[in-house]
Homo-oligomer: A and B are copies of this chain.
Amino acid sequence: MYDKQREYTKFCFAFVYNNEEGKGGELMFDVVRLQINYHTLEQFKRFTENGLEELSMLDELHENMVENQVDSPFYGIYEDGTLVARMSLYPINAKYDRYFDPPRDYLELWKLEVLPGSKGRGLGTQLVTYAKSLGHAIKVNVRGQSHPFFLQLGFTPVKYDAQRDRGENPYVWIPNDER
């Protein structure tokens, strides 16, 4: 049963990937929602953007004595039991939206990161494709050299607003069926 589910997920990704982005090649990786436990937090330490959020999660684990925290904002890809790519998605309520017109609920994408040894094989693309498959609009602050990456995935830069953006690079994406 597990393997069938797994194969189906792969099939769906290959479908989205081939049709939406116009690229060939089968995607070989499963995106999973990460349970926050000591093992996951240990794996997080290998990522550059490990920070206060992860420390706070560790504190919560200590305090609550629970094994798994299931409402995690993190999604990731494992290879041979090792977490090699991750992202987080925060649901934002329309009343706090400052990017879409009219205001709407959306997902804010943060901490997209692929470990150095796993780069160049489309894992970042697959994570973002997964985020898009959830059916919500997405906002991301594009950093460093990642502008072409997000443009290629159908994101567009907003008109820069100095008061609101203060140095950020907000890009947005809305589901294809709304365009």
Residues of A within 8 A of B (CB): 48-49, 51-53, 55-56, 73, 88, 90, 108, 110-111, 142-145, 147, 157-160, 162, 165-170
A53 touches B167 (CB 8 A): yes
Rounded to whole angstroms, the CA-CA distance of A139 and B179 in the bound complex is 38
A145 touches B48 (CB 8 A): yes
Copies per assembly: 2
B169 touches A48 (CB 8 A): no
B48 touches A167 (CB 8 A): no
B110 touches A53 (CB 8 A): no
Complex contacts, A170 vs chain B, CB 8 Å: 52
Rounded to whole angstroms, the CA-CA distance of A168 and B147 in the bound complex is 20
B167 touches A111 (CB 8 A): yes
Minimum CB distance partner of A92 in chain B: B166
B48 touches A147 (CB 8 A): no
Complex contacts, A158 vs chain B, CB 8 Å: 52
Minimum CB distance partner of A55 in chain B: B160
With both chains docked as a complex, state the minimum distance between the C-beta of A56 and any C-beta of chain B, in angstroms. 4
Complex contacts, A51 vs chain B, CB 8 Å: 142-143, 147, 167-169
Q: Can you list 23 A-B pairs with a CB-CB distance of less than 8 A?
A: A48-B145, A49-B143, A49-B144, A49-B167, A51-B142, A51-B167, A51-B168, A51-B169, A52-B157, A52-B160, A52-B165, A52-B168, A52-B170, A53-B160, A56-B159, A73-B167, A88-B166, A88-B167, A90-B167, A108-B166, A110-B166, A110-B167, A111-B167
